[in-house]
Structure 1
Amino acid sequence: MFKKIKHPILRVGIISLSILIGLLFLFILSIYIGAWGKLPTKKSLSDFHYQRASEVYSADSVLIGKYYLYDRQPITYEDLSPQLISALVAIEDERFYEHSGIDFTSLARVGIKTILMQDRSSGGGSTITQQLAKNLYPRERAGILQLVATKFKEMIIAKRLERIYSKDEIIMLYLNTVSFGDNTFGIESAALKFFNKRAKTLKLEESAVLVGMLKATYGYNPRVFPKNSVERRNLVIRAMENNNYLTPKVADSIVLTPLKLDYRDYDHNDGIAPYFREEVRKQLLKWAKEQHEEGQEYNIYTSGLKIYTTLDYKMQLLAEEAMQEHMQKLQDSFEKSYGQKAPWKTDKKLIAKIIQRSDVYRKLKTAGLSESEIMDSLQIKKQMMLTDWKRDTTIMASSIDSLLHYAKFLNVGSLSVDPSNGAVKTWIGGVNFKHFKYDHISQSKRQVGSAFKPIVYTAALESGIDPCTYFSAQEVEYENMEGWSPSNSGKKDEAYLNYSMEEALSNSVNTIAVKVLEQTGIPKVLAQAKKMGIETKLPQLPSLALGTAEIKINELAKAYSSYLNNGKPVAPFLIQHINNEKDSTLTAFKPIISEERAFSDENGQIMIQMMKATVNSGTATRIRSTYGLKNEIAGKTGTTQNNKDAWFVALTPKLLNITWVGLDNHEIGFKSTSLGQGANAALPIFALWTQKLNADKSFNYITQAKFKSPSPSVLGKMDCDPVKRDGFFKRLFKNPNKKKTKDFKTDNAKT
């Protein structure tokens, strides 16, 4: 055949070309048979699954977070706006609706311009379908020959995809799989991240920004390079104009539009309610494990679950604002109160403990370093960012500097629940999740102080003690308790005063709380606490009356809910139901309400009246005087020994809130009681939050709710003078400066 060709050069050329064609044929054949990696079958292309992010929603249907390996939320073609599709086709593949997976015209253009004319700006020849193939089967790093084989594989896969799916389906699949940078995959997740809206609601200029990113997700990232992003966006707009998707007038208008982002990064460290989302995540992992044991496989990071929670988005937002407003001022006052004599600056033993408890110290210790080597390492200065309430500051600091900086921070735990069913409405587990992962609602147990007293008084009422029983405020030294002598921080002449139970509780009189406990009996108080939902083992000591027990906030919330739920405690819960990727319910969660009442209806009414007095005339009066709140509120303040824990419990007809403020480090307390008492450190968070709720009419159902009027029987039982003063002769023979001595009645306290 080749011998008939007389011209030797032509013959060599034809032979060479034939060999090349043969080699190319063999090369393509080797790709088909899988020599360069197995090609996906029609079945696998027809039935592939995305790794979908699981979505977390508030009770009012706001997306508040995600759990994912890859941030992707697939959507249907109907969820894509026509202008978004037009922008994509115009800039990425203008003959998309004409070819069948491979655009030979573009390939020829690229070949001529890039290879022959050395024009690197000619662009690529890949179609949207080929790009989809690349998204579904990412390239692996390899040599030139492997890259060529991969390009051919993508062409083959593209042809197969075109035979399986319609053009609309290919557009949908592409926009659901493509990367937009920032660990974001798919147009829906990108729209939510960069513009805080769904893909179907994107404006034309926003669609152009996102489509423009596809050429270089980092270089055209509008958050990082806004100028580059706008230039690329305008190029997309002009491409739409050139392809008759836009009129010149509209295009001219759009290119002048400034870039406006509403960036929301669904990072677990940031965003609204991070502690709440972390607790939901923990509960989801437990749920998934239970499902696995029942034969159902769900991965909270890839299964695209939809988790509908109890959280009220707007309420949480206002609660976080109130917390930040108060804690910033309190932190400043706290640091000023200590000045240069602050324990985290001067107490060498405490500083040593802080260092030795740290993760970085333990890591170096585990690595086998000596004490001196560890300290040398921890004292090395390096550039780091330290955060406070005012700003993030980058300075030269050591690991020890960082540890002591964060050791001085006051922290917070604040929980609000619907007392009728236990639904959590707000959850603030700390001041900054990025720096303080420890959740002070679900993890921390702290002494509850006077916040425990209502349980003692409830037990007293249940045991038959009349609310108008009077108790002397005189200090007592209990000889059989090693001379333990609880004291008050009240009036000088308190030794002469006798308080009714209402007055004693509302003013949080310590000496009387112990006497009420003694008369009631420790076993009855422990039993009462258990009836109200306290599962923590409590100390069987007289100091129980003063709140020396360490209890979690969510457990205390269960106990207090009984006062607002007809005597039946209800456990706080966070998740309403878990749905699958198609939004069908997998599991629904019901409130866990005690079947039995913890106390009588009459005693429940009495306790509410007593705690209303705390707000109206007792230790929490600044709710009325300082913050001007006229809402119906009952409450209880709490302050522990050495001012280490500050509490405020607020009860309203429709909402229960418990707030704790203190330091993670138990060795450090407030400098003074005036600063660290519950009324000053914890109460303002609730008060500021309530002011914000009052200003929003949508919360009228909570803020304007009224307590049930007490029955005539309750009013009759409580109709007595709040305080009685000792008579003349009793005062004459009583030394107010001398403690009364006696034994605490331990016989009744035995269990």
Structure 2
Amino acid sequence: MAVSKAQEAKRKEDLRANVILFWKLVGTAIGLLVLLFLLTSWGVFGSLPDHTKLENPDTDLATEIVASDGITLGKFYKDNRTPVNFEDLPQNMVDALVSTEDERFFEHSGIDGFGTLRAVVFLGQRGGASTITQQLAKNYFTEKPATNIVARIGQKLKEWIISIRLEKQYTKQEIIAQYLNQITFLYNADGVRSASRIYFGKEPKDLNVEESAVIVAMLKNPRQYNPRREISKEKSFQRRNQVFVQMVRNDKMTEAMKDSLREQPIELNFSPETHNDGMATYFREYLRSWLDDWIEDNPNPADGEKYNIYRDGLKVNVTIDSRMQAIAEKSVKDHMKNLQAEFDYQNRNLKTAPFRDVTEKEVDEKILASAMRRSERWRILKADGKSDQEIKDSFLEKTDMTVFSWNGPIDTLMRPIDSIRYYKKFLQAGMMSMEPQTGHVKAWVGGINHENFKFDHVKKGKRQPGSTFKPFLYATAIDLLKYSPCREFSDGEYTIPAGRYGNMRDWTPKNSSGGYGNMRTLKDALANSVNTVSARLMDDVGPQAVLDRVKTLGIDTSNMSAQPALALGTEDVSLYEMVAAYGVFANGGIYNEPVLVTSIEDKNGTVLYQYMPDSKDVLNPEVAYTTVKLMEGVTQIGSGARLRDKWRGNQSYASILTDYPYAFENDIAGKTGTTQNQSDGWFMGMVPNLVTGVWVGGEDRAVHFPTITYGQGASMALPIWGSYMKGVYKNENLEVSKGSFPRPANLSIQTDCDVYQQENGSPTEEDDGGELDM
């Protein structure tokens, strides 16, 4: 049917009106969108971060503890996040990220128009619209997800605006680095660096393409695609392979490589980073308290606020050498595991085990009751308002728990009071190694397992040092009386009468293996820990002179008494103090307080603290050297001579503890020490540029070996030192000396006993029969 002109005109008029209406609607929509953008940018729908906030996003950054060899020992954190720069990322990770998360990342300016249009048209079925920049904006500045569509639209508008601002503020490379630093990957893996270290035991730059793909795969949902969780391992595997597909699609990987890699299983090197895991746990805990003290006196100069080690991203450079620390921890673990097995075997028929010299009643009413009141369980229940009796009753009720053993954790049902007794049986150890010329502490092992035994036996623990205290007495005699190591003394019984030095009764020490009636050189007497000779020296110089000397060597004497028994090491000292004091002998009479921290930097690399050396001349170099020559006798003819033995046993526990496969040939000065009833075993050993001390004993003094065979320092502590030194000598890069101790010029004290004999016309006796060290 023919269309009239009027109808044609009407049709054209309608079409024109519809076109105008369309463009009006489009214009209105665009105008509304622009208005929404303007209103959002003006903060009508909620505040937006200003440029200063964009420059410094509010992100918690972990404080990193960096060893002297550049290895990260651990972190203090609320979020375990240590940022890395783009240059620290492998190219394969950047390729995997962009290919999978934002293919046009390097082409858009924060908002992907094509992706947005695709998401709208297909309602998100063919991929979302968020760019990497938008995800970064969301992670930085969105506190919680929107609960309705209106709020979500407002949130999305904010993300767009922030994204555009971020693109203006940062380069594409900086945005990628920030994005990967911000993501959380579970298991305390906050940021890509923590994820790389925790899941693969590597720095990000060392990741291969398969490992990078696993990390990128987790970005979609770190829990759902986590390779560590049993329930999500298969999903992680499939998602990783999808990353390979995306890399092929974007010409970042060949088809052949994809086909080869997709069949490879995911191989993790899971290395958790909690405060109880990793290396130097006891040192890190002490460092935490050190930093707390430093923070109190050093506020942030920018705002006067105190630094926060859990969020301010400080970098603490410490003196610990991770290689030496690893050797030290292994040496302690290997020996203590074997020593514990022997200790348990010897206690198998002991009714009061692991305690000796006490009755069962004393165990219950003193040792266990005291430990119960000091326990965390008691503290928590007391804070909950429980009565003492209610708390005591709770210790008698069996409960599920996991307890420590040298063969791994044990899940068991046990009464808390029994668990206290169980833990008391474990022998503990402390070890510290220091460079005497600088005071730099190279290794610090405060116990056998930080998760289960928190007490630090390096700095906090103070125990009787036994014969390891004797070199201080000998040094005093050398200094005041110019005694030569070759001077002879009778090892016959010697008494210091009551009242001479304020002592209440006569003091007549005994030698551990008799041997009375011989003439001994000082070198021989110290090597074999002859107590009667120590008594003679103490009477020659007086206890106060020894106490004064010890104080100059950095040992706290405030609670020590100037009594003759001081000669046998009856006053408590810490291993930390002992290592520093022995360092004076190795360093020619110069005292360096142990150094732990060399510098502290803020998150921008600004140095906040720099250690300044503070050395003190506290001992005549001749006296220091002469004392060293005395202590060399310990490893030549005394209880430390086993350091020069070769392996002569089998692999049984007993032979491991009594045979010593060290065969050292270089100069070593040292001293073993054992206290009454074998409660403490010590060995202090040194070479020219390394002083190392070891203590071993029970938490309670009633926990000890029944006899001297295994209960002496030479069996309890010396093997740890020997194993450690064997390990450090294997790594020539550590440059631990095998040379002789430097001899002072114009030495006036004769240390060569052959020459001394000729000069003095008196024979010397080098008796290597060996007194057991006490």
Contact 1:654/1:705 (<8 A) preserved: no
Shift of 1:262: 2.8
Shift of 1:636: 0.7
Shift of 1:206: 1.5
Q: Give secondary structure in 2 for the equivalent of 1:38.
A: coil
Contact 1:36/1:146 (<8 A) preserved: no
Computed over aligned residues only, the root mean square deviation of the Cα atoms, in angstroms, reads 3.2
1:403 aligns with 2:408: no
- Give the aligned partner of residue 490 of structure 2: 471
Structure 2 portions without partners, runs of 5+ = 1-12, 15-21, 646-659, 768-774
Shift of 1:688: 1.3
Q: Name whichever of 209-218 and 336-345 sits farther off.
A: 336-345
Aligned partner (choices 542, 546, 556) of residue 535 of structure 1? 556
User: Residue 227 of structure 2 aligns to which amino acid in structure 1?
Assistant: P
- Structural mapping, 1:20-35, within 5 Å: 31-35=40-44
1-structure distance, mates of 2:107, 2:496: 96
Change (3 A) 1:43 1:415: closer
User: Residue 372 of structure 2 aligns to which amino acid in structure 1?
Assistant: I
User: Residue 592 of structure 1 aligns to which amino acid in structure 2?
Assistant: D
Shift of 1:386: 0.9
Change (3 A) 1:379 1:30: farther
Q: Name whichever of 424-433 and 569-578 sits farther off.
A: 569-578
1-structure distance, mates of 2:415, 2:145: 40
1:361 aligns with 2:383: no
User: Residue 530 of structure 2 aligns to which amino acid in structure 1?
Assistant: V
1-structure distance, mates of 2:297, 2:279: 28
Contact 1:693/1:703 (<8 A) preserved: no
Contact 1:500/1:721 (<8 A) preserved: no
- Structural mapping, 1:270-289, within 5 Å: 270-289=277-296
Contact 1:96/1:127 (<8 A) preserved: yes
- Map Cα deviations across residues 5-30 of structure 1 (whole Å, 9 max, x no partner): 9xxxxxxx999999999999987776
- Give the aligned partner of residue 585 of structure 2: 563
User: Residue 618 of structure 1 aligns to which amino acid in structure 2?
Assistant: G
Contact 2:441/2:595 (<8 A) preserved: yes
- Map Cα deviations across residues 384-430 of structure 1 (whole Å, 9 max, x no partner): 21111111111122322322222211111111111112111111111
1:91 aligns with 2:100: yes
2-structure distance, mates of 1:314, 1:14: 73
Change (3 A) 1:503 1:178: same
Aligned partner (choices 470, 474, 479) of residue 457 of structure 1? 474
Shift of 1:182: 2.6
- Give the aligned partner of residue 706 of structure 1: 740
- Give the aligned partner of residue 249 of structure 2: 242
Q: Name whichever of 77-86 and 562-571 sits farther off.
A: 77-86
User: Residue 683 of structure 1 aligns to which amino acid in structure 2?
Assistant: L
Aligned partner (choices 624, 630, 637) of residue 617 of structure 1? 637
1:322 aligns with 2:343: no
Aligned partner (choices 113, 123, 143) of residue 139 of structure 1? 143
- Give the aligned partner of residue 129 of structure 1: 133
Contact 1:309/1:574 (<8 A) preserved: yes
- Give the aligned partner of residue 649 of structure 2: none
- Give the aligned partner of residue 186 of structure 1: 191
- Give the aligned partner of residue 693 of structure 1: 728
User: Residue 652 of structure 1 aligns to which amino acid in structure 2?
Assistant: V
2-structure distance, mates of 1:718, 1:557: 31
1:587 aligns with 2:603: no
1:681 aligns with 2:716: yes
- Give the aligned partner of residue 209 of structure 1: 214
Shift of 1:37: 2.6
Shift of 1:274: 1.2
1:348 aligns with 2:371: no
Shift of 1:134: 0.7
Contact 2:509/2:535 (<8 A) preserved: no
User: Residue 593 of structure 1 aligns to which amino acid in structure 2?
Assistant: S
User: Residue 705 of structure 2 aligns to which amino acid in structure 1?
Assistant: F
Q: Name whichever of 654-663 and 361-370 sits farther off.
A: 361-370
Shift of 1:111: 4.3
- Structural mapping, 1:176-575, within 5 Å: 176-224=181-229, 225-292=232-299, 298-340=307-349, 341-344=351-354, 346=360, 347-349=363-365, 350-464=367-481, 466-467=483-484, 468-474=487-493, 476=495, 478-480=497-499, 481-483=503-505, 485-492=507-514, 494-537=515-558, 538-575=560-597
User: Residue 676 of structure 2 aligns to which amino acid in structure 1?
Assistant: Q
Shift of 1:694: 3.2
User: Residue 62 of structure 1 aligns to which amino acid in structure 2?
Assistant: I
Aligned partner (choices 33, 52, 67) of residue 61 of structure 2? 52
- Map Cα deviations across residues 411-469 of structure 1 (whole Å, 9 max, x no partner): 11111111112111111111111112221111111111111111111111222163414
Contact 2:472/2:546 (<8 A) preserved: yes
Change (3 A) 1:692 1:170: closer
- Give the aligned partner of residue 71 of structure 1: 80
- Give the aligned partner of residue 17 of structure 2: none
2-structure distance, mates of 1:371, 1:262: 47
- Tell me the TM-score normalized by structure 2: 0.84
2-structure distance, mates of 1:299, 1:580: 11
Contact 1:344/1:351 (<8 A) preserved: no
2-structure distance, mates of 1:47, 1:677: 59
2-structure distance, mates of 1:486, 1:27: 96
Contact 1:456/1:545 (<8 A) preserved: yes
Structure 1 portions without partners, runs of 5+ = 6-12, 726-751
2-structure distance, mates of 1:165, 1:602: 64
Q: Give secondary structure in 2 for the equivalent of 1:569.
A: strand
1-structure distance, mates of 2:756, 2:58: 68
Q: Name whichever of 514-523 and 675-684 sits farther off.
A: 514-523
Contact 1:602/1:714 (<8 A) preserved: no
Contact 2:58/2:140 (<8 A) preserved: no
Contact 2:584/2:592 (<8 A) preserved: yes
